[in-house]
Structures are given as structure tokens and as C-alpha cells.
Amino acid sequence: MKLHTLITQYIVYRKSFGERFQTNERILKSFCHIVGTEIEVTNVGVEQVNSFLYSNGQITSSWHVKHNALLGFYRYVLSRGYATTSPLPTVKPKRPQPFVPYIYTQEELRRLLATVFTYQKNRGRLEPYMVHTLLLLLYGVGLRLSEAIGLTLSDVDLAQKLLTIRNTKFFKNRLVPIGTQLNETLMQYATWRKQQGYSQSSEAPFFVGRNGKLVNIYTIEGAFQCIRKQAGIERTDKATYQPRLHDLRHTFAVDRLTSWYQQGKDVQKLLPYLSVYLGHKYLAATSVYLTMTSELLQQASERFEHYVLKGEYL
């Protein structure tokens, strides 16, 4: 059977289980385009696969992402008898060091929020007050950026201090409670939003640009990088990427874990609650914060020990 036909069939099969499958679909279609749409699946050789995997000549995390996509496809092909052997390499190279998110300090967060009102040299498409509120929300409850800008007026129940996050990363909805202080911040923004004359329709976006329309995710991310640079926040660990907007979500999780340690809570028992709150599909996605932030957690442990022994925080 032709490679193109089988890849199309496999994509439909995976999506039938409710998976988005966007990344793997893109990879498999790219593989098919490079190898040839009319080639028989049994004629795809090791050299063609290696050429695709090593397209940039280096072993990066993308090598493993592409390999995993092909591995799933060929397992499907072999299990159904479309081929008897797989052209994938039998030995996988060592995976590069995983990307380490940036954890903002409280002082850096204050600088970011202050810089929001001064970073624009000229009037842009984003109102600084809206950006300020959005950053507070992203850090305050650890939302993904797409979840935050996807909020409509009906999703933000300020009377109940509750957010409804719809069609998340895993096609699910979830309810996110918010604290009193953050709720007051959102109420002030909602009042300002109304005074500006933006749509009060229940389906209107909660966060809007100056044109009153849904905020573009790339516009927000670009603005954040300008804010970060002007605030003088950058990595010093030789990492490839500078601090990102998405790192506010990681910072929220780390600060929550640190706070639990300070309070002497059983973090292992509370971790599933944090996982649900963040909208993670698997607990392992949340557990990574425990190993990622050992230094911070050690500091929290020391503060708590000091509190137990002397009755005061450091």
C-alpha cells in the first residue's frame, strides 16, 4: 500500500480516540512529502528515514519528536501486516538535556508588571492596562496563554470567583477558582473594559485589543518580549531561550509548591489537586516541578524548619 494512503489512514485512526495529533500529523505529512507520496510503504528504506531524522545534521530534541511520530506509525503498519520490517534505527541517540523553564523571582515579577505601562514607545495595538491584567491572571492561576485569551465574558464569573476554561489542550473544560485579590483585579478590569465601550455580549472576548477584537497570541508574546527586555530580565545559565510568557505558568506552579513546603503540607498528597487545577492530563506532567525546582524547595524546607524551631519565618 502507498505511504500516503497509510499515513492518512493512521492520522484518522489516532484522531478517532480524541487526540488532536497536530504535531505528529505535521511530521508524518512532511515525511511523506520528502520521501514521496507515491512510494510503497515497503519500499521506504533506512537511508530515507535517517535523512529525514537528521535533516539538520544534529541530534536535537526534534530528532526524538520525529522519531516518536514515525515509531507510532510503523507500529501501526506492522501490527496490521502492511509491512514486515521497520526502517527506523534500532539504536536511539542520547536525548539532549531537557529544556528548563525560567522561574521568575518576586522582584522580577514586580519589574515586569511595572514595565507594562512604559514599554510602548508609540501607541500600539494593545492597551497596557489589559496586558497588566492578563499577566496577573497568567501568574495568579497558572493558565496557558491560549486559555486566558480564549476567555469570554460568560466564562468569567466574578460573582462566584470562578473561571470556565473551555476546549483546553486535551479537548476538555475545567473550572478554575480564583482568589479574592485577583478577583478584585479582574472586576476592576471588567469595569474599565465596559467604560471603554467594548462589547458586553456574553460571547465577546474578555481580553481585547484596542480594536475591541480578540487578542492575537503572537502579538501578546511579541509585546511580552519587549517588556521583558526593557525590564532587564534575562537568563544567565547559557540556555538557548530567554524567559518566556509561558514561564509565568511554571512560576505559578513552583511558587505554589514552595508555599506548601513552607506551610509543612504533604506535597505528594496535594500534587494531584495542582495537576487538576493546571489542566494536566497526566500527573507526571505536574510531578516534573518537584525535580525541576529542587533548589527552591530546599530553600522552602529550610524556611519551614526555621519556623518550627524558632516560631518565625526567615
Give the residue numbers annotated as catalytic, written as ranges: 144, 169
Contacts of 314 (CB under 8 A, 6+ apart): 302, 303, 306
CB 297 within 8 A of CB 258: yes
- Distance between CA atoms of 254 and 295, rounded to whole angstroms? 11
For residues 178 and 197, what is the distance between their CA atoms, to the nearest angstrom? Answer: 26
Contacts of 257 by beta carbon, 8 Å cutoff, 6+ apart? 267, 274, 289, 290, 293, 296, 297, 300
For residue 98, give the amino acid letter: P
Torsion, Cα 235 239 242 248, to 10 degrees, reads: -80
Q: Residue 132 in contact with residue 113, Cβ under 8 Å?
A: yes
196 in Cβ contact with 89 (< 8 Å) = no
